Structure 1
């Protein structure tokens, strides 16, 4: 039990969750930067078709591409409710769920150069 003055370091002053970098991940087989970029583009092109609003998807994409401080500002400004600190699961103010795969947010541990493939 915490005292009234204690605050979880994972939350902001208004009680919303602070976002942080996603955990390292590994693709099933070594992947090149070109393949990773193609996967990311396909995700962002099709994501709005699975629900939610285009504005929130755009805000999530901008947040993923930004540094952590700017990403936090984007998320807060768009009214995104963060369930997981790494943005893998979020909600908008109407309750629509947004799920982001790790590959859109960070590099895999087994990324290889295009020349190695």
Structure 2
């Protein structure tokens, strides 16, 4: 019986391993400045979507970190990662956190600022 619980926990750990989002394309070419403005606006308003501010802060830190540090951040914050690219997560109380791809990576059609 103990083995079943152990293997399930090990399977859960593998499912929580985060990865970079798949390449994506914005609806129209955007500049780095526009992308940063979109990200700032999202993170400024994210706590209003529900959930805990501390979890939103942890998700922002994870989104802006490299994968190893991001994994450590979500693990220590108790974030339950449903989608390995961090687009859908939950906290320990079951609140859902959805992150748009533009806060996690750059689009393939990013253009130079003029």
Q: Same fold (TM over 0.5)?
A: yes
TM-score (norm 2): 0.88
Say how many residue pairs are matched: 106
Q: CA deviation at 1:48?
A: 0.4
Match of 1:15 among 12, 16, 24: 12
Tell me the distance in 2 between the aligned counterparts of 1:22 and 1:85.
8
1:92 aligns with 2:94: no
1:66 aligns with 2:60: no
- The equivalent of 2:56 in structure 1 is 57
TM-score (norm 1): 0.86
Q: CA deviation at 1:13?
A: 4.4
Q: What stretches of structure 2 of length at least 5 have no aligned partner? A: none
Q: Deviating runs (4+, > 6 A) in structure 1?
A: none
Tell me the distance in 2 between the aligned counterparts of 1:84 and 1:58.
18
* Aligned positions of 1:6-45 closer than 5 A: 13=10, 15-16=12-13, 17-45=16-44
Higher normalized helix content (fraction of residues): 2
RMSD of the alignment, in Å?
1.6
